[in-house]
Amino acid sequence: GGPWSLAGGFLVRTAHVILTWVITLILFLHDTGKSDKLRKQEETGQLVQPVLFVLLVLVSVLLYFAVSLMDPGFILSDDSDLQVISEPANTSVLTPLQWAGHQMLQPMRSKHCQTCQHCVRRYDHHCPWIENCVGERNHRWFVLYLAVQLLVLLWGLHIAWTGFSYTPTWQLWLRTNSTLLAVAVLVALLSLIVLLLLGSHLYLVSLNTTTWEFMSRHRISYLKHCGADENPFDRGTFHNLWGFFCVWGTVVWEQVYFREGSDQV
DSSP assignments along 47-82, one per residue: -HHHHHHHHHHHHHHHHHHHHHHS---BPPTT-GGG
The closest of 193, 61, 64 to 130, measured between CA atoms, is 64
d(CA 244, CA 139): 9
d(CA 209, CA 221): 15
d(CA 85, CA 253): 9
pLDDT score for 146: 98
Question: 53 and 222 in contact (C-beta within 8 Å)?
Answer: no
Q: Per-residue pLDDT tens, the chain, 265 aa: give them.
A: 544 456 668 899 999 999 999 999 988 887 655 545 666 666 666 778 888 999 999 999 999 999 999 999 998 765 544 443 333 334 344 555 544 444 556 889 999 998 888 899 999 999 999 999 999 999 999 999 999 999 999 999 998 888 888 888 888 988 888 889 999 999 999 999 999 999 999 999 999 999 999 999 889 989 888 887 888 999 999 999 999 999 888 888 888 888 754 444 3
> Which pTM value belongs to this model?
0.83
Q: Residues 113, 116, 119, 127: which is the catalytic one?
A: 127
Question: 138 and 73 in contact (C-beta within 8 Å)?
Answer: yes
Long-range contact pairs involving 191-194 (C-beta distance under 8 Å, separation at least 24): 191/150, 191/153, 191/154, 191/157, 194/146, 194/149, 194/150, 194/153
**What are the DSSP E strand ranges found in the chain?**
95-99, 102-106, 111-113, 118-120, 125-127, 132-134
The closest of 200, 208, 215 to 253, measured between CA atoms, is 208
Angle, vertex CA 209, rays to CA 207 and CA 212, nearest 5: 150
**What are the DSSP E strand ranges found in 70-210?**
95-99, 102-106, 111-113, 118-120, 125-127, 132-134
pLDDT score for 78: 57
- The dihedrals phi and psi of 27, each to the nearest 5 degrees, come to -65, -35
Whether residue 127 lies in the annotated active site: yes
d(CA 231, CA 259): 13
